[in-house]
């Protein structure tokens, strides 16, 4: 579930809500009680995978002309993520 940012135009109170995508937006300010709340546009959070099972090249889009499932133009397949092998082996 995403976190949405809101701001009251009456009192200026800014707050966040953890809501489902199909939940109705908040309309009443929890600070002043006015019905003057607006949803703010935010950049959101980036998704970052850390740990020994992820490589920086795993989630990059392939270059032009590259085939899915290949790591270079010669057609060699990518190293297995579950095999524990490093890319330099």
pLDDT score recorded for residue 73? 46
Mind listing the pLDDT tens digit for each residue in 8-39? Answer: 999 999 999 999 989 999 999 999 999 999 99
pLDDT tens digits along 39-57: 998 776 666 667 777 666 6
Q: Label residue 29 exposed, middle or buried (CB < 10 Å: 0-12, 13-18, 19+).
A: buried
Measure CA 62 to chain center.
20
Of residues 33 and 84, the one with the higher pLDDT is 33
* Other CB atoms within 10 Å distance of the CB of residue 37: 22
pLDDT tier at 81, thresholds 50, 70, 90: low
Put simply, whether the predicted model's pTM sits higher than 0.85 gets the answer: no
Closest among 33, 29, 22 to 8, alpha carbons compared: 29
d(CA 21, CA 70): 35
């Amino acid at each position: 579930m995403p976190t949405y940012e809101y701001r009251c135009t009456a009192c200026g109170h800014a707050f966040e809500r953890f809501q489902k995508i199909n939940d109705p937006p908040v309309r009443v300010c929890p600070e002043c009680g006015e019905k003057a709340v607006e949803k703010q546009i935010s950049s959101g959070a980036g998704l970052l995978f850390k740990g020994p099972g992820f490589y920086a090249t795993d989630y990059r889009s392939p270059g032009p002309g590259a085939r899915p499932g290949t790591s270079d133009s010669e057609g060699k397949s990518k190293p297995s993520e579950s095999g524990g092998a490093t890319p330099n082996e």
